Amino acid sequence: MASATDKAEATALKAKGNKAFQEHDWPTAIDYYTKAIDKYPYDPSFYCNRAQANIKLEAYGYAIADASKAIELDKDYIKAYWRRAVANTAILNSQDALRDFKTVVRKEPNNRDAKLKLAECERLVKKIKFLKAIEVEDAPSAFENLDLDSIEVDQSYDGVRLKDEMTQGFIDDMIERFKNGKTIHKKYVFQILKAVRDIVYNEPTMVEVEVAPDTQLTVCGDTHGQFFDLLEIFRLNGYPSDTHGYLFNGDFVDRGSWSTEIALLLYAYKWLRPSFFFLNRGNHETDDMNRVYGFEGECKAKYNEKTFKLFSESFSALPLATLIGKKYLVLHGGLFSDDKYTLDDIRKLDRHAQRQPGQAGLMMEMLWTDPQPQPGRGPSKRGVGLQFGPDVTKRFCENNGLEAVIRSHEVRMDGYEVEHDGRCITVFSAPKYCDTTENKGAYINIGPDLKLEYHQFDAVPHPDIKPMVSTITFTSL
């Protein structure tokens, strides 16, 4: 039985956690809240605070468990219902979120903010139901009947004109337009999307790359619509060229407010240099995530609905992994639910037969899984996919002749982290993520010797547009 001293010490630990939280150091906050819980496991606020920190780290499964424990300890704890609803919304468990938002409104009928969020959630549930109802299994391609010749670019357009091939001049002009808050003409958007969709569709599910003499390949993690931080990578590390290739490991879009700018720039480079500029699909290059986290809304606001449909189809054509020098497997999420899977299974995976990853299977695991420090496999902290331990990584690397797996998918405060005895490397390239997390960004340079060089960088100023402006958001109560 815990003593009064234990409770006092735990409360002091919670206060330290709150301070770390205020400083946007979510991992340290979680560490203090966990120590408080270990010392005194009867205070629901410890769990509720940890739930909020886990939400910040997108560990939504853990957040749901913590909020549920807080509710178990205090059935009237409004913040816990709220945070459980937020976490369930984040992983698209909209019905569960709806129940909790209803509970908040029932317990606090005069809470205007709660009523607004309940209405948002109800609209989201209706939208999901409607989209499922009209879903056509063998829908025609969005590119079908796309008549580019019939789209006129009027004389008033003040940007560089794009003909039949991508040029560096067009890219340079596009970057300047985007920096100045301008868009490119929709004809050029459609041209870029069609050209790149055709290129990536014909690439294998696992692209295999060698780093030739006198060249360099840079691996970047999530960029999440942080366009000005992407430009900082290029400023520091060099723009793509014939001797300097890039691999962007998924999650180009959503959350940040310049997702179309990032996606179009990366696609333009892919069109310009298709054999030395690579794109892996991430879990945010999917329809469900784009509807909730902003990309669909941004496409419609800056261009039109057709743009989103074309992007959606192009995303489903992207490769799922890249093998560098036969030593490093690069994929967005991580490893698998069974040791039987090999590189050959990735090679054989027909990603075109399944446009969206679904809730199970090899594609879903490649996009969603995360490493854990404990051996074996465990439930996902996100509530989607699973977690894999150092022994799983060791066996996979040994069975496939790999030195390491490089993945992204998670914020790392230093921009990168080397785990699992050096065999699992996370790289994340969105510094000061969503303008709230005090993390660095990072990228990895790989030369012909296949040695890994880690580089960190800080966020740069950007126009005063808040993250996720086109997103369905549920803020903290």
Angle between helices 186-201 and 259-272 (to 10 degrees): 60
Asked if 174 contacts 267 with a C-beta cutoff of 8 angstroms, the reply is no
Active site residue 352: no
3-state secondary structure (DSSP) of residue 68:
helix
In angstroms, what is the C-alpha Rg of the chain? Answer: 23
| Short-list 238, 186, 235, CA closest to 217 | 238
Lookup: tokens for 341: 């899977």
What is the Cα–Cα distance from 115 to 100, expressed in whole angstroms? 12
| Short-list 160, 182, 158, CA closest to 171 | 160
Catalytic residue among 244, 284, 332, 409: 284
Task: Give whole-number Cα distances, 459 to 28, 254, 387, 411, 435, in Å.
Answer: 21, 18, 29, 14, 9
**Distance of alpha carbon 469 from the chain centroid:** 16
What is the Cα–Cα distance from 130 to 177, expressed in whole angstroms? 37
- For the residues of 319-357, what is the DSSP string, one character each? -SEEEETTTEEEESS---SSTT--HHHHHH--GGG-SS-
What is the Cα–Cα distance from 297 to 391, expressed in whole angstroms? 42
Task: Please give the torsion angle defined by the CA atoms of residues 90, 95, 96 and 98, in that order, rounded to the nearest 10 degrees.
Answer: 90
The residue assigned the tokens 């990309």 is 295
Angle between helices 305-317 and 186-201 (to 10 degrees): 20
Tell which phi-psi region holds residue 316, choosing left (phi > 0), alpha (psi between -120 and 50) or beta. Answer: alpha
Asked if 439 contacts 232 with a C-beta cutoff of 8 angstroms, the reply is no
3-state secondary structure (DSSP) of residue 74:
coil
The residue assigned the tokens 């966990």 is 34
3-state secondary structure (DSSP) of residue 156:
coil
Give the residue numbers marked as catalytic.
Answer: 284
